[in-house]
Amino acid sequence: MSPEFSRTLSLLRQEKGVSQRKAAGALGISQALLSHYENGIREPGLAFVGKACDYYGVSADFLLGRTLSRDGTTIIEPEELYDISSEKDNSLKGSVLALLSKKLLVNSVALLFDLMGKSGSRGAIRAAANYLSTAVYQIYRQFYQINPANNPDFFSMPPRQFQTGLADADMKCSQAELADALAAHMKEKGPLPDMSHEALTKNFPVLYQSLYQVIHTTGERVNRIYDSRKQEK
C-alpha cells in the first residue's frame, strides 16, 4: 500500500468533518481498525479501499497517492518524469513544457506545505505562503500587462510602485519572516520533520521526485550564472 494512503485517508476524514467512530461505522469496520489504517499500522484490503473511495468521493489513485486529481486523472509516474536538464538547450515548446512545469511545481509546493504543517509553525506557513503568493502575483502581472488592451487599473498597486520593486521587497520581507519563524520553532519546540533523502523518498514517493528535480535543475542553473561571472573576471 502506498505510504501516502494513511495520510490521505486521515485528511479526507478530517476534511469531511466526521469522527473516526462515525466514519468507521459508515465504512463497516471498527473505530480501532480505522485508526490503524489512518496511522499506517495495518493495511486494508481492496474491499475497504473501494468503500473509502465511495464514502469520500475520490478515486482509488487519489487515495493511494498516485495522483493529485480526485477524479483519478493520472499524473506522470516518477520514472516517467522528463528531465529537462538532459536537453542541450534546456528548451521545450508548447503545452508540454507548461504541463510538466505545473506538475513539478505543484508537487513540490504540496510537499513543502505538508512538511511545514507537520512542524506546526504557523509563522513559517504564513511567511512561505506570502512569499509564493507574491511570486505568483508578479508573474501574472507581467503576463497581464504585456497586452496594452488589458485594464491597467486591475491591480491596486500603482505601476510605478511595482516597477520600482515593491513586490520584490515584500518577498524579501517574507524570507526574513520565514527565517525568524523557523529559528523560533527550533528554539521552542526542537527539530523540524526529517528531511533527509531517505525519509522524503519513503514518506513522499511521488511528490519528492518532483521536488528533487526542481532542486537539481535550479541549482544547476544558478551555478551556471555564478560560473559565468567567475570566468568574466
- Set out the domains of the chain in order of their start, with CATH numbers: 4-74 (1.10.260.40), 79-232 (no CATH)
Kindly tell me if the per-residue pLDDT of 80 is higher than 90. Answer: no
Q: Are 124 and 185 in contact (CB under 8 A)?
A: yes
pLDDT in tens, 31-44: 999 999 988 899 89
Q: In angstroms, rounded to a whole number, what is the distance separating the alpha carbons of residues 61 and 136?
A: 29
Query: Average of pLDDT values for 68-80?
Result: 52
Kindly state the percentage of the chain with pLDDT values over 70. 84
pLDDT at residue 226, rounded to an integer? 76
DSSP class of 75: P
pLDDT band at 98 (very low <50, low <70, confident <90, very high): confident
Count of other CB atoms within 10 angstroms of residue 18: 16
Kindly tell me if the per-residue pLDDT of 178 is higher than 90. Answer: yes
Q: In angstroms, rounded to a whole number, what is the distance separating the alpha carbons of residues 182 and 108?
A: 19
Query: Average of pLDDT values for 146-160?
Result: 89
pLDDT at residue 22, rounded to an integer? 95
Query: Average of pLDDT values for 47-75?
Result: 77
Query: Average of pLDDT values for 149-157?
Result: 88
Query: Average of pLDDT values for 53-61?
Result: 88
pLDDT band at 58 (very low <50, low <70, confident <90, very high): confident
Average pLDDT of the chain?
A: 83
pTM of the model: 0.58
Q: Could you tell me which residue, 65 or 146, shows the higher pLDDT?
A: 146
pLDDT at residue 97, rounded to an integer? 65
Q: In angstroms, rounded to a whole number, what is the distance separating the alpha carbons of residues 84 and 96?
A: 11
pLDDT band at 61 (very low <50, low <70, confident <90, very high): confident
Beta-carbon contacts of 36 under 8 Å, excluding residues fewer than 6 positions away, are 42
Q: Could you tell me which residue, 70 or 75, shows the higher pLDDT?
A: 70
